[in-house]
Amino acid sequence: MQPVPGNARLVTATVFAAFLSIPTAVSAQGAAPPEAQAWIDIATFSGMGMPMGGMGGAGANPMSALGGMLGGKAALGSNSFGNTRSMSAGRWVDVTVRSRANPNLDQAQQAVPEGFLSPALELKTPKNAPPPPRDEEDVRHEEPEKPKGRMLLYWGCGSEIRPGQPKVLDMASATPGDFAKFFVGRSATQRGAHAAAGRPVWPNPDDSRMVPAEASLKGEYAFSGKGIPDGFRFQIPAAQDLMPPLTLDQADSGGATELSWNAIATARAYFVSAMGSNGKEDMVMWTSSELADTGFGLMDYQTNAAVDRWLKEKVLLAPQTTRCTVPKGVFGEHGGMLRLIAYGDELNLAHPPRPKDPKAKWQPVWAVKLRVKAVTSGFLGMAAQGRAGAAAKEEETSIVPKIPQPMELLKGIFGR
């Protein structure tokens, strides 16, 4: 794949990639790797009709089964590594640490503030973990199978479909060049918390405590273990604390759908996407971008520099934005699946810090990469996403018959 201007990527993907990240390789920093490295991923998921009451587990709503089809693994009241990518409603934290001095590190501890959990987190290397990646910054995914039918792409907030839309791809006759032109997408997702041999993780079967409902990550942290250097201590500030859940509301406006959501003080930007069917064999996609971007690579953590660049390009919505309208006629009466992401500030720490002189030798003792996001999902056409209680249940019951049932919608989109 050849990069395109603005660090965008040409991504060949299918409907299965619509809810996965398609990350980009990141070049080496030109400095020696740290003696110890930690990755911390923080995510808040809501929507899909799932209650957020305890802020953990997938909730009791049957719609949570749909999260499983999209990669969700969390069960009610459980905590396992990888939940920051599961789309299961709740607040999740994944942690990975490694030591260059001890490539076979099988356990470690992470001291955390009492406002998060107490006592310290116990990190363990998973059984049968895959080997460590060769490239510390490159993340790869298997190529999905080629879909059938046509793909229609719409973009931009507004009540009416804009001139020149949709962008159409006929997958039965499309050439590789056609795919490359259609799937121009942006992504700057680097490696985060991951499971690999010699890299203990939390949570794990020996320590699967849930993140408390009122937990705060603000405070001092420290890693320890065989081969981990002394003094691996750092602070997580308020800007990287757990985000509150996003609440996505909808209102019909003459056939267009007005979306609105709660503002998150620590959000750097927002992005909305929807995927569905027009009742034929066509897969329909819409994104809030002002440029023709499928958004496949944007529904995940992104670097601060990339978020700032895409804000200027108006691919992402400014942090003050809390409204966006899906144009009339994009999905018709067939609805679709919605996703809204709030990007938090990525935190990169190292000790000692990088010298100001780019030519100076730099040998960090330890480094931490911390990423934050909040995501909500739901069905386009279903009012008041994210509300709990009897009122939400009554509203959901009255509107569900107007749109395809979840499994029927998926079968129509995925051709299964």
Question: Which tens digits make up the pLDDT trace of 194-203?
Answer: 999 999 999 9
Cis peptide before 203 (omega within 30 of 0): yes
Which pLDDT score is estimated for 77? 57
Which pLDDT score is estimated for 400? 34
User: Region 267-285: what's the mean pLDDT?
Assistant: 89
**Strand 36-47 and strand 366-380: pairing?**
parallel
- DSSP structure class, residue 240: G
Is a pLDDT exceeding 50 seen at residue 2? Answer: no
* pTM across the whole model: 0.79
Which pLDDT score is estimated for 148? 66
User: Could you give the dihedral angle defined by the CA atoms of residues 172, 175, 176 and 178, in that order, rounded to the nearest 10 degrees?
Assistant: -90
C-beta of residue 125 within 8 angstroms of C-beta of residue 197 = yes
Which pLDDT score is estimated for 204? 97
Burial of 133 per CB tally in 10 Å (0-12, 13-18, 19+): middle
User: Region 347-363: what's the mean pLDDT?
Assistant: 92
Q: Which of 128-137, 300-309, 330-339, 358-367: highest mean pLDDT?
A: 300-309
Query: What mean pLDDT is reported for the chain?
Result: 79
Is a pLDDT exceeding 80 seen at residue 54? Answer: no
- DSSP structure class, residue 317: B
Where does 219-365 show beta strands of DSSP type E?
219-224, 233-236, 248-253, 256-261, 269-277, 283-287, 323-326, 336-343, 347-351
C-beta of residue 271 within 8 angstroms of C-beta of residue 261 = no
Q: Which residues contact 142 (CB under 8 A, 6 or more apart)?
A: none
Q: What is the pLDDT of residues 79-135, one digit of tens each?
A: 999 999 988 999 999 999 999 999 999 999 999 999 999 899 999 999 988 898 876
User: Which residue would you say has higher pLDDT here, 280 or 242?
Assistant: 242
User: Region 280-297: what's the mean pLDDT?
Assistant: 90
Is a pLDDT exceeding 80 seen at residue 343? Answer: yes
Which pLDDT score is estimated for 175? 84
Q: What is the pLDDT of residues 358-411, one digit of tens each?
A: 888 999 999 999 999 999 999 987 653 334 333 444 444 333 333 333 334 344
pLDDT band at 15 (very low <50, low <70, confident <90, very high): very low
Q: Which residues contact 58 (CB under 8 A, 6 or more apart)?
A: 50, 64, 67, 72, 74, 75, 76, 88, 89, 90
Is a pLDDT exceeding 60 seen at residue 5? Answer: no
C-beta of residue 300 within 8 angstroms of C-beta of residue 366 = no
